[in-house]
Structure 1
């Protein structure tokens, strides 16, 4: 089959032929990627074909998929600048993420039933290669306890991003036997309140999130593990030997992680000069240690209006599909982009003494959805590692921030009190304590 004929749904979306899209949408793979990694939804968004966007989303087009350059349809919608489309894709992204987690829940619950109850402690130490930033970055000690199909996570770090973090005394309670609206609960132990993690979105919060997205850089960062390799770390000056030492309670072998590359891309064609200046001021404040990390930066932004549509692309379908993969002409707003590759120097400490396997812990980490850093940890632990369990790992969690994760203790236990996994009777429900959850 000729290349031009391999992507009929993409071609129909490209031309904005809504009748043909309606016909093909039931016959074609709606998540299929073309030679540039774009799904039909990517193309519809980049070209501003609203009818196609609505139809594709109504048939379950995935919003989270990235193209060959690392951009999602939501990122392309932000670039295009139509507020209604951004809101539509953001709402659908949240809905699809919850559906995926709910589909996985029976498998997670089944896996938890086969794991003995345990008590685990791990430490996060965050650092940055940006001068002076490391000294103000937070650290955190997390405790994870598992009883039956219930998990309790205690942490002091809330809402951590590159430019914002909040301290607190939080507990996440997961109950695999509870329904979708009751299986994950967040406790603020300082305020003695709790919030069920919601499965519905509040319009005000979505509007606020859209404002922030439209006012911020588009960032795509991915850790390339394609050529990753491990070599034994060495210690000593005159008589060098393989490095082995205690990490927490566990004797561990240390490895250097080689060929680990952090690919970062930044776009700002949708931003005004005022936006760029404001964002730059925030970064400078952080580097000087003057940024008040308790502030909510969303307060600085008012409601954003849609941008004027970009000029219509002169690229034809034949030219688009015939271009080398990832090098197609721009279909939407002309990019204002910056790319960087950074070799990430890391070590990993592997121990045969750790009493649980990686696969077991991955099932537990899967329910820690609200924490982006846990997602990064889970992704890295899913890659091919040397023998043993990674009791200490260094991983990048944001383009300028990395984390050293240390598993300091682990023990199997049969005497965890059931009260640890329930909301204290005197806590009051506060549905608005954690916006976005």
Structure 2
């Protein structure tokens, strides 16, 4: 059942991308050709963790309906950083199944993003899901307000500074809440102890390889105890308070308030909506999703050239748009080099 659900989820994801494609291509055509440099700097209030968090400079090239993003940060999951030399390329002229690729410029291989997973890849993903916490985190924007950041000791005034080449007004972001939920009723005691050991190692700069972590084929979960709820009791229950069926939930919810700032520049040549259209293309890159969520909020006037946003419960990212220029590029930078070989399993999470 888990395997069938996972396959359906991936199918729906591919269909969603296909549905958005015409709108995306039209939006890209309306944009001018440009070069954009985006800097990430990850920080944490956990002392040991701060030492291993990366910084990164992402270079984005846009020409016609083609986009290329160069980065050195392969992934950042469960406090583990992977470094490399990657290029994400979206070719709007190619057929949908071949339009989005990621290049590993060190190993000279490439992988198509929306490829069909093999039976083994799907089984391995199910194994990992069945032995890990079910975790979700969302940025709550319901109560967010913006107020001008102040500077000065005796004589306070609104903070305005240059960010890269752009003059920007700084704002404090108030009421930003990260809501997280974690469930683990499907885990054995062995799973919980092993996952705890992995997280402790990662927080000290270790990695999964040092833990000798090998996913083991999982058996179906043991059936929960039979329930004694009758159909009449269930169907006649008060709205929203139906009796619980199946396993007893083991759920932990938490909320954390974050202090954040954003610098808005009205000199920046690109509009916020235009940026969102570009981010639609590179959304599979995980930490860009958090940036997109933040940008979609009701921001003050201008373009967010610098912002601090939480990406994990203990980690905040500072994002800076330091350079932007309209430009033209060689078409070759949007194509796969001839000497690169295809490796469908190079990036299993994509």
Q: 1:431: how far off?
A: 2.5
Q: 1:317: how far off?
A: 6.4
Q: How is 1:1-400 mapped onto 2 (pairs within 5 angstroms)?
A: 85-289=1-205, 291-292=206-207, 295=209, 299-315=213-229, 316=231, 319=234, 322-323=237-238, 325=240, 327-400=241-314
In the alignment, what sits opposite 1:422? 335
**Normalized per residue, which structure has more helix?**
1
Matched residue count: 349
Q: Against the structure 1 CA distance between its residues 248 and 200, is the aligned structure 2 distance closer, same or farther, given a 3 Å change threshold?
A: same
Q: Against the structure 1 CA distance between its residues 126 and 419, is the aligned structure 2 distance closer, same or farther, given a 3 Å change threshold?
A: same
Root mean square deviation of aligned Cα? 1.9
Q: 1:198: how far off?
A: 3.6
Give the one of 392, 399, 405 matched to 2:319. 405
For the residues of structure 2 that align with 1:155 and 1:296, how far apart are their CA atoms?
25
Misfit runs of 4+, over 6 Å: none
For the residues of structure 2 that align with 1:361 and 1:320, how far apart are their CA atoms?
48
Contact 1:320 1:329 in 2 (8 A): no
Q: 1:331: how far off?
A: 2.5
> What is the SS of the residue equivalent to 1:384?
coil
Q: 1:239: how far off?
A: 0.9
Q: Against the structure 1 CA distance between its residues 251 and 269, is the aligned structure 2 distance closer, same or farther, given a 3 Å change threshold?
A: same
Q: Against the structure 1 CA distance between its residues 201 and 250, is the aligned structure 2 distance closer, same or farther, given a 3 Å change threshold?
A: same
Q: Could you state the TM-score of these two structures normalised by the residue count of structure 1?
A: 0.76
Q: 1:195: how far off?
A: 1.9
For the residues of structure 1 that align with 2:135 and 2:253, how far apart are their CA atoms?
10
Q: 1:332: how far off?
A: 2.7
Q: Against the structure 1 CA distance between its residues 416 and 271, is the aligned structure 2 distance closer, same or farther, given a 3 Å change threshold?
A: same
Contact 1:205 1:436 in 2 (8 A): no
For the residues of structure 2 that align with 1:348 and 1:305, how far apart are their CA atoms?
48
List alignment gaps of at least 5 residues for structure 2. none
> What is the SS of the residue equivalent to 2:281?
coil
For the residues of structure 1 that align with 2:38 and 2:188, how far apart are their CA atoms?
42
Q: Deviations over 1:130-181 (max 9, x none)?
A: 3421221122110110010000000011122123331110001101121122
Q: Deviations over 1:73-129 (max 9, x none)?
A: xxxxxxxxxxxx111111111110110011100110011011000000001112233
For the residues of structure 2 that align with 1:304 and 1:278, how far apart are their CA atoms?
15
Q: 1:388: how far off?
A: 0.6
Contact 1:98 1:199 in 2 (8 A): no
Contact 1:264 1:341 in 2 (8 A): yes
Q: Against the structure 1 CA distance between its residues 105 and 297, is the aligned structure 2 distance closer, same or farther, given a 3 Å change threshold?
A: farther
> What is the SS of the residue equivalent to 2:97?
coil
> What is the SS of the residue equivalent to 2:246?
coil
For the residues of structure 1 that align with 2:89 and 2:309, how far apart are their CA atoms?
26
Q: Against the structure 1 CA distance between its residues 90 and 309, is the aligned structure 2 distance closer, same or farther, given a 3 Å change threshold?
A: same
Q: 1:318: how far off?
A: 5.7
For the residues of structure 1 that align with 2:113 and 2:98, how far apart are their CA atoms?
7
Q: 1:409: how far off?
A: 0.8
Q: 1:298: how far off?
A: 8.8
For the residues of structure 1 that align with 2:306 and 2:136, how far apart are their CA atoms?
26
List alignment gaps of at least 5 residues for structure 1. 1-84
Which structure's relative contact order is higher, taking Cα pairs within 8 Å and 6+ residues apart? 2
> What is the SS of the residue equivalent to 1:276?
helix
